[in-house]
Amino acid sequence: MKLGGIEAEALAERYATPLLVIDLDEVDGAIARCRAVCDPHGIEIAYAGKALLLVALARRLAQRGLNLDVCSIGELVTAERAGFPAERITLHGCGKSNEELEAAAAARVGRIVVDGVEELQRLTRIARPEAPLRTLLRLNPGIEAHTHAFVRTGGEDTKFGIAPRDEDAVRAILRDATGLRFSGLHAHVGSQIYEPGAFVAVAEALVQASARFAREGFTAEEIVIGGGFGVMTDPSRPNERIDFRATIDAVAKAVAVAAARVRVPPPRLGIEPGRMLIGPAGTTLYRVCAVKHQARRTFVVVDGGLYENPRPALYGASHHAVAASRPNLDLQEVVLCGRSCENDVLGRAMLPSALREGDLVAMSVTGAYTYSMASNYNRFTRPAVVAVTGGQEHLLARRESIEDVLRSDVLEGV
């Protein structure tokens, strides 16, 4: 098996396992496809850094002309080290610290998306009237989107965004906020969404909200409909992905119609994809530690798990896995597990019955929300991340050492 033109076995030997391999040609392809759909509608694309952000990756995304969403000082400093232009960075987060608000007020980002009333109040005290900060409000549109469906709940019960009942309060605060320049409205309603109607509903809800804001003297120049565009994770279910072109075309049309109906100028549109741009480009390579034939099932224990991919444990995500070092023949269903001291099932997989300790397993679509969510649980060291493109490889993050893990322990602490 080859990744970016390089033998998976050679990569595993050079960088050890688990190893996250990012195929940069796939990232470029995903960006190009996204642009081809969005550019004709003038839609701005911001990469959601939470999916995966490393300095060299951020530098490359900046060169590709994308905007960037960050939601912590850590993500912001990563972008800064990459030389990402501040004016193309947006600060997100549902519980921003004063340090983050101060960074925004100091123009280390070009925009902020405010997530609540208290945050807006705090920001007005920190913001600088001499350099008003471009400000969007994240609304809670009462739409819950799931993989296959979405519902209008008429009052979404989540921690994110500003509830309809608080809109008057935020407008009152904005009226006196000389350090802020209201520029638009935002919503993000879920992840791995396959249903185009969910995005259309969000866009329509934001246009309706922009009419309420317009009546009170606030013009929304832009509306951002978030990320969450679902990608295929299992080749045996090829239809389980969003039709991105149909979705964006429908959103653009719905916004034009809704804006005309509520008599507001059509706002500029923005999206914030993370997974769609980086997820499918990632493959994780694991070594098999053990193959255990237990009472009813066969368990394949690999050298990763919860600490480097918490997604299956966190929200039941599944990934497709194949044997990378032997033919995928005579397959049997196995439970693929990590080696954390939890029942950290990575998923069910069809793997060769001849699979043995030391074999290599490749798990696909692991570019998003794996490394970025990794921890040192069990004091495991986080894996290396290597980028591949056309037979070349570039290390993006080296494997942590035990010393890295121990670095913040205070030896004389007690």
Ligand X SMILES: Cc1ncc(COP(=O)(O)O)c(C=O)c1O
Q: Is 371 among the residues that bind ligand X (CB under 6 A)? A: no
Rule CB under 6 A: which of 293-322 touch ligand X?
none
Q: Are 201 and 228 spatial neighbours (Cβ–Cβ below 8 Å)?
A: no
Q: Which is nearer to ligand X, 48 or 385 (CB)?
A: 48
Establish how many alpha carbons lie within 13 A of residue 321's alpha carbon, considering only the half-sphere containing its beta carbon. Answer: 33
Shortest distance (Å) from residue 271 CB to ligand X: 8
Shortest distance (Å) from residue 275 CB to ligand X: 4
CA 393, 395, 62, 283 torsion-angle sign: positive
Q: Is 84 among the residues that bind ligand X (CB under 6 A)? A: no
Q: Which of 275, 319, 320, 339 binds ligand X (CB under 6 A)?
A: 275
Residue 341 a catalytic site member: yes
Shortest distance (Å) from residue 68 CB to ligand X: 11
Among candidates 108, 55, 113, which has minimal Cα distance to 270? Answer: 113
Shortest distance (Å) from residue 339 CB to ligand X: 27
In whole angstroms, give the CA distance from residue 185 to residue 222.
7
List the structure tokens of 380.
């495991």
Q: Is 280 among the residues that bind ligand X (CB under 6 A)? A: no
Stretch of residues binding ligand X (CB under 6 A), selected from 254-262, 269-277, 313-321, 334-342: 269-277
Rule CB under 6 A: which of 217-256 touch ligand X?
226-229
Size of the site for ligand X (CB under 6 A): 17
Shortest distance (Å) from residue 236 CB to ligand X: 22
Q: Is 51 among the residues that bind ligand X (CB under 6 A)? A: yes
Q: Is 191 among the residues that bind ligand X (CB under 6 A)? A: yes
Rule CB under 6 A: which of 10-49 touch ligand X?
48
Q: Are 282 and 20 spatial neighbours (Cβ–Cβ below 8 Å)?
A: yes
> Active-site positions?
341
Positions that interact with ligand X (CB under 6 A): 48, 50-51, 69, 92, 188, 191, 226-229, 272-276, 368
